[in-house]
Structure 1
Amino acid sequence: MNARHGDVSLDNLLGKARDPATFLPDELSYLISAFVPSHPEISRSKAYLVLSAFCQGIRSQNPQESGSNNSATESLAKVFQPLIISHISNHQQQDTIVVGLSFFSALFQVDWQSASHIFGQDGVVEYLSDALDLFPSASVALEVTRLIGQASGHKSCRALIPEEIITWLGTKSRHAMDKDLRAAAAIALVKLSRGAATDASEGTDPPQAASSASNDMELASMLKRMVISDTDSVSLLNDVVEGLAYLSVDADVKQALANDPKFLQQLFALVPRRKALATSATNSSLLFGILIIISNLCAYRPRLSQEDAQISKLKSMAKASNGSNKTAAEGPPNILEDDATVKSRCRQVLASGALDVLSVASGIESQGIKLALGKIYLSIVEDKDNRGKVLQSGGARSLSRVIQSSSSSTSSSTPIDASFLIAIQALAKLTITSSPLQVFGPADGAMLDAIRPLSQLLLHSSSNLLQQFEALMALTNLASHTTGCADRIASTSDLLNKVELLMLEDHTLIRRAATELICNLLGGSEKVFSRYGGSPDVHAAKSKLQVLLAMSDVDDLPTRLAASGALAMVTGSSTACRAVFELQLDRHRAFLVIARLIDPSVILEDDPDDDEGAGDPGLVHRGVVCFCNILNPQNALPRALLAEEVMKAGLVNVIARLLKGELGSFETAVTTPAAEILKHLIELGKLANS
């Protein structure tokens, strides 16, 4: 086919592909012939677009139907099956068979449902065996192998592949003179092997192609050698990398790949280091395969919640009792998948240049690539020692580009796609342990832009507790950086309500992180300060301050420091002081809680056995500031009632012990306001005795 004429014809077909009914028989025949390997890559790429649009056009006529046996699938099969069979059953012309096989493989990539339906028809697999017998040429063998590789990715097709073809694939993977054929055969075997493992895990009988670990390692070694020595063929490398992507889910293969720096360096060198990476389908496919390999090498074993772990255990027991996959159900975890080994693999991958690959990949507009990047970065930054390297390579910018792609077409109020939460979590980890300036640079814009996704990580219905915790920590770091960041966080819809709810969580770390965020927001945002007592509404402030008082008396020291720090700040307003005083009048407990910050020996009536021993200087300082604010006469609290309450709380004794040095040695930042408190207490004592 003349390449130029082919491009023009494909352009015409692309214009009408959305309306398949307008296709003429000659045009369909032309499309089917457009996928043969001898055609230019650009022409075949355009043919894929036409085929995809054609299939979507058929399926759009049945938008509510799904599954592999619906009428849309049958309609597509009705169109393509006669054409495919007429080509692959031709016993006279080799070129005709190659046309049919190459189109069949393309259909699997574009619409696997209809392709699988056709593959399952009587006689189709036999035509493949006949083609190999009648035309023992490298071109026919390669196209049959590629078709088997595509079909092997689908369970219904795997069961139809006969033993003699599997044996033939094994022979070709080891002894074929044609490198492309050798690689394609290896990939077909890999897909059959991985599919067998999946089928076994689902409790079904494994297909004939189930392979041993030694076979997988043999295939991986062969593909590794091809990466190192055969870098001149793009199609070959695509096949090789795809095969390694499948194999690298196996722990032994992961370790073998990670321990071969020459292989890793050569693999990563396949990706141009400039952001002007070609965006052709071939390059994107190759890049995606490399990212999947990196992702598999760096993936940590999933952390299951207690509930998930129990469910997993029950499932394993059920499989074992049924005789299905019993060894896997009862065997110990593979040591090659423990955290220490994965951490080592991540460092080996980084040392071989993976971060350069990730930086380039972040500029590619492909959702599959974006999602793979998020997963890889999350695995890498799990190790704190890697985070500086990630930042130096521009990892935060790469993650920001990935995250922005998840919401580029949605409004700010639309939740981010849950599949992008892992990328946001990776950005959160970087933000937790580094200065915002190191992560986002000196411009405020990047920091402000990061607040929305980090808030989504906290608010999203799919976020787990770890993600919520890390979102809280990251937002806390940003809130302390500038008032602009604090205001943006405080203005995020529903965020403050969520954080205040998490302050009451049973989980200590979640409760602590939520309290620390509120503390930082109080110091940076007028909105939050008003919410907690900076406005005239005493009633609204009471419920907020009651929670801060409660958090100021929990067992966890960081939580107490954050909550009491928030109290010290907000009691700078007269409204907050009045609200605390009213809480004291309600239960006669608020002053005791604050007094315990200064002197841990103060006993609460509802917890008479609690004596914490030595106090913390930070708590002492916060408690002193709180009382200094509350007792300030400018707050115009009813002095008689105030005198009565401070006497009940034994505050005179607490401050006296502090000033005498019985509670430790403190700087003037504590002793000066303490002396002022004592002065106020003396005045209140005179009032009480008058």
Structure 2
Amino acid sequence: MSESIEGELDVILKNSRDKSHELSAKNISILVHAFLPMYAQSVRTKAYVVLSAVCQGLRETTTHAEQQGNDAAQAIYKTFKSLVTSLLSDTSEDEILAALSFLAALFEVDWQSAALIFLKEGVLEIISDIVDLHDSSDQIAQAVAHLLSQASGHKTCRAIVSSEQVTWLERKSRQTSDPAVRASAAVALVKLSKGARADSAEVGGQHEQTSSAEDEELVRLMKGLVADRHDTSSLADAVEGLAYLSTDPRIKEVLADDASFLSRLFSSVPRRKGPTAPTTEIPTASPVFGIVVIITNLCAYRPRLGEEEAQIAKLRKMAKAPAGSAKAGQNDGEDPLGDDEHVRRRGRKLVASGAVDALVAAVRATDSRAVRLAVGKALLNLIEDKDNRGKVLQAGGAKALITIIRDLLPASSSAGQGSKIPQLDASEIEPIQALAKLAITASPVQVFGPNEGALFDAIRPLSVMLMHPSSNLLQRFEALMALTNLSSQSAEAGTRISRVDGLLNRVELLILEEHTLVRRAATELVCNLVAGSEDVFDRFGGEKSPAARSKLQVIVAMCDVDDLPTRLAASGALATLLTSPAACENLWELQRERGRALSILGQLIDPNIVPPSEVESDDSRGLQEQADSGLVHRGVVCLRNFFINFEDPATQKEIAAEVDGVGITRALVNAVKSSTGDSPVLRPTAEALKWLLSSGIAITG
């Protein structure tokens, strides 16, 4: 029988791709009956695929954009409503079961059209009659509970569920003869309870907190169903219920503290080894999605809000607080169990119980987009704690993220490049951010393996995160840091990064960012790229042009900021650039135009040098400061390179006079005096002093 209906489903699927082919009454009947529990799981899985294709085809028959909303749902509703309502009123248990099972499945595939059938006048009353007439049938009871569970996930349907039906669900959730019925009823109660609280919150009212004990009782029930290795039929329902309940910080703590439960839960994710192709699964047809959601909920951090966002959130809470409430101004209403420290502790417990193995296995087991995005979010949350990163790498977390990202980003036209930033939403950027965090704190070999091609493949997603309009400042900072690490691996990596369309333009803007860490990261990336890419070397001053001189001016300015790491990176880039005669000419022109360039170089060696323009001012910046050895080394190399690239005697004398006039000669002499015999500063300093001496400057001291 299963083979016969599978063949019929294949025919319907094939016909659904032909827009001119109309769905016959026979086709509709076959599809509706294909969800009967009497059929094998493979049949019902295929039925989901066919139903999804049929619904998509019906949506596409609405040709105008304005008809894509409610009219599309109406088209699906009209296709199935007559048969479904007719079967619900039938006297045969199998026919009733077919209608209930199909309507529950339709909620999963296209909830708007399913809701129209569920809300149709008289349907809910018929369902109540079915419960009364077939009270002894466990199959009917489970189908009704499952349908009410699906409907209760949507506000409009939840609003019409009667108190009698809630009472029936409570009774079924307490019975012990059939665990599957018990689980389905419990999930429906969870959705009704959670939904009611969410509905109250939307209108700014208070919801009663009397459901705490009920929630904990439901958690105990569902944990027991997960732990029962002898009955797996109710596992999916139990996992779905826990996925809903695990948004509550109290429940998160209860679940995270039970290591044996977590191990049992994670072992339910199927393990695939080798190159076996994953399968696209309907998330609710398998516990995989629910397990990933539970992990994500348990390790989810509160959103990081900026000052303005935090103030708006506070005002909203105050507006929703009851008038005269004493608590309104006393606290922010946040549960302390949801703070960062509790999240970190839960994350470590998850990792210790095998959560990362389960997440990696989920990516291998299914190519469901919903599952993979949830895995990316979960890994991002776990990786937030640096103590977890090594364990995530050991478990194959980086490879799982690379697999997820590869599916999210369309193939580019050429390796390491992309002419257009792909359209991604915030959730699709999260797996890239997780990979970036790993690439920041571990060596590229640990993250991407010994194959350099994998490292090159990572350049594009990191570049996308850096340039994407939806990325926040933290994501851009982490993209910069990760790309800096990659660029340090080889000249080829640096060249590929520099050739990503639009990347250098974005980096140049971020060098001027007010946020110190972002500015520093952008400067460090440029420092690496200048050393590893001829194109970037020329762009930032290595060639003689007004544009290159302008970019060189930015690098010189970064040598004068208050942040030491930024100055180290900028002066390192400048030392490399000044090996080019063209860059030296650009710098000399900047000195002539603004009179500051040489003073900035001098302050790298001796921070107490005061530029001529500031001698008469009250600005005593840097007086009595200690020189940083890294800046001193870079500063003397910059000056030495700058000096030796001028051959015209007249120009040499002019430069030497300017240098001596701002106190650089004295600074170089002091650098020699304060250096030890093996210091790398000695040789370039001696060469710089020799050049000054040959240019007519007297060296004393």
TM-score of the pair, normalised by structure 2: 0.92
Shift of 1:25: 2.2
SS where residue 98 of structure 2 aligns?
A: helix
Deviates more, 1:56-65 or 1:479-488: 56-65
CA 1:131 to 1:552, structure 2 compared with 1: closer, same or farther past 3 Å? same
What letter matches 1:192 in structure 2? L
Q: Indicate the residue corresponding to 2:455 in structure 1.
A: 447
CA 1:601 to 1:410, structure 2 compared with 1: closer, same or farther past 3 Å? closer
Deviates more, 1:511-520 or 1:43-52: 43-52
Counterpart of 1:488 (choices 482, 493, 496) is 496
User: What aligned pairs does 1:443-592 form with structure 2 within 5 A after superposition?
Assistant: 443-535=451-543, 537-592=544-599
Shift of 1:69: 6.9
CA 1:648 to 1:574, structure 2 compared with 1: closer, same or farther past 3 Å? same
Q: Indicate the residue corresponding to 1:353 in structure 2.
A: 354
- Distance between the aligned counterparts of 2:330 and 2:389, measured in 1? 36
SS where residue 35 of structure 1 aligns?
A: coil
CA 1:206 to 1:97, structure 2 compared with 1: closer, same or farther past 3 Å? farther
Shift of 1:667: 4.1
CA 1:674 to 1:311, structure 2 compared with 1: closer, same or farther past 3 Å? same
Q: Indicate the residue corresponding to 1:256 in structure 2.
A: 254
What letter matches 1:343 in structure 2? R
What letter matches 1:681 in structure 2? L
CA 1:23 to 1:673, structure 2 compared with 1: closer, same or farther past 3 Å? closer
The answer to whether structure 1 residue 244 and structure 2 residue 242 are counterparts is yes
What letter matches 1:16 in structure 2? N
- Distance between the aligned counterparts of 2:88 and 2:408, measured in 1? 43
What letter matches 1:447 in structure 2? L
What letter matches 2:469 in structure 1? S
CA RMSD of aligned residues (A): 2.6
- Distance between the aligned counterparts of 1:297 and 1:538, measured in 2? 56
- Distance between the aligned counterparts of 1:17 and 1:588, measured in 2? 75
What letter matches 2:556 in structure 1? L
User: What aligned pairs does 1:244-643 form with structure 2 within 5 A after superposition?
Assistant: 244-275=242-273, 276=276, 279=279, 281=281, 285-320=286-321, 331-363=332-364, 364-408=366-410, 411=413, 412-416=418-422, 417-418=424-425, 419-535=427-543, 537-604=544-611, 605-606=613-614, 608-611=619-622, 613-632=625-644, 634-636=646-648, 638-643=651-656
Q: Indicate the residue corresponding to 2:222 in structure 1.
A: 223
Counterpart of 2:657 (choices 626, 641, 644) is 644
Q: Indicate the residue corresponding to 2:684 in structure 1.
A: 673
CA contact (8 A) 2:169 2:189 kept: yes
CA contact (8 A) 1:424 1:453 kept: yes
CA 1:174 to 1:204, structure 2 compared with 1: closer, same or farther past 3 Å? farther
What letter matches 1:288 in structure 2? F
CA 1:230 to 1:659, structure 2 compared with 1: closer, same or farther past 3 Å? closer
User: What aligned pairs does 1:177-196 form with structure 2 within 5 A after superposition?
Assistant: 177-196=177-196
CA contact (8 A) 2:270 2:362 kept: no
Shift of 1:573: 0.9
CA 1:143 to 1:164, structure 2 compared with 1: closer, same or farther past 3 Å? same
SS where residue 681 of structure 2 aligns?
A: helix
What letter matches 1:443 in structure 2? N
SS where residue 114 of structure 1 aligns?
A: helix
Shift of 1:594: 0.6
CA 1:215 to 1:526, structure 2 compared with 1: closer, same or farther past 3 Å? same
CA contact (8 A) 1:617 1:666 kept: no
CA 1:17 to 1:673, structure 2 compared with 1: closer, same or farther past 3 Å? closer
Give a deviation string over 1:489-522, Cα, whole Å, max 9, x none: 1111111111111111110000000001111111
CA 1:659 to 1:103, structure 2 compared with 1: closer, same or farther past 3 Å? closer
CA contact (8 A) 2:421 2:468 kept: yes
- Distance between the aligned counterparts of 2:226 and 2:294, measured in 1? 13
What letter matches 1:548 in structure 2? I
- Provide runs of 4+ in structure 1 moved above 6 Å: 66-69, 204-208, 321-329
The answer to whether structure 1 residue 122 and structure 2 residue 128 are counterparts is no
Q: Indicate the residue corresponding to 2:77 in structure 1.
A: 77
User: What aligned pairs does 1:21-40 form with structure 2 within 5 A after superposition?
Assistant: 22-40=22-40
CA contact (8 A) 1:199 1:206 kept: no
CA contact (8 A) 2:183 2:222 kept: yes
Shift of 1:65: 4.8
Give a deviation string over 1:141-165, Cα, whole Å, max 9, x none: 1111111001001110000001111
What letter matches 1:655 in structure 2? L
What letter matches 2:508 in structure 1? E
Count of aligned positions: 681
SS where residue 440 of structure 2 aligns?
A: helix
Shift of 1:686: 5.4
- Distance between the aligned counterparts of 2:194 and 2:320, measured in 1? 19
- Distance between the aligned counterparts of 1:429 and 1:242, measured in 2? 30
Give a deviation string over 1:381-426, Cα, whole Å, max 9, x none: 1111111111111211111111101124565334242332111111
CA 1:633 to 1:487, structure 2 compared with 1: closer, same or farther past 3 Å? closer
Shift of 1:357: 1.3
- Distance between the aligned counterparts of 1:301 and 1:600, measured in 2? 43
Give a deviation string over 1:245-284, Cα, whole Å, max 9, x none: 1111111111111100110111111123333587374787
Q: Indicate the residue corresponding to 2:211 in structure 1.
A: 212
What letter matches 1:677 in structure 2? A
CA contact (8 A) 2:660 2:697 kept: no
CA contact (8 A) 2:646 2:652 kept: no
Give a deviation string over 1:574-628, Cα, whole Å, max 9, x none: 1111111111111211111110111111113347311251110000111111111
Shift of 1:676: 1.9
What letter matches 1:359 in structure 2? V
The answer to whether structure 1 residue 57 and structure 2 residue 65 are counterparts is no
What letter matches 2:687 in structure 1? E
- Distance between the aligned counterparts of 1:143 and 1:657, measured in 2? 87
- Distance between the aligned counterparts of 1:25 and 1:327, measured in 2? 59
What letter matches 1:23 in structure 2? L
Shift of 1:329: 10
Shift of 1:324: 12
What letter matches 1:380 in structure 2? L
Q: Indicate the residue corresponding to 2:93 in structure 1.
A: 94
SS where residue 656 of structure 2 aligns?
A: helix
- Distance between the aligned counterparts of 1:513 and 1:408, measured in 2? 28
CA 1:322 to 1:126, structure 2 compared with 1: closer, same or farther past 3 Å? farther
- Distance between the aligned counterparts of 2:173 and 2:199, measured in 1? 23
Shift of 1:88: 1.5
- Distance between the aligned counterparts of 1:66 and 1:304, measured in 2? 36
- Distance between the aligned counterparts of 2:174 and 2:65, measured in 1? 44
CA contact (8 A) 2:201 2:207 kept: no
- Distance between the aligned counterparts of 1:348 and 1:575, measured in 2? 58
- Distance between the aligned counterparts of 1:358 and 1:346, measured in 2? 13
SS where residue 105 of structure 1 aligns?
A: helix
CA 1:78 to 1:328, structure 2 compared with 1: closer, same or farther past 3 Å? farther
SS where residue 362 of structure 1 aligns?
A: helix
What letter matches 2:235 in structure 1? L
Unaligned ranges ≥5, structure 2: none
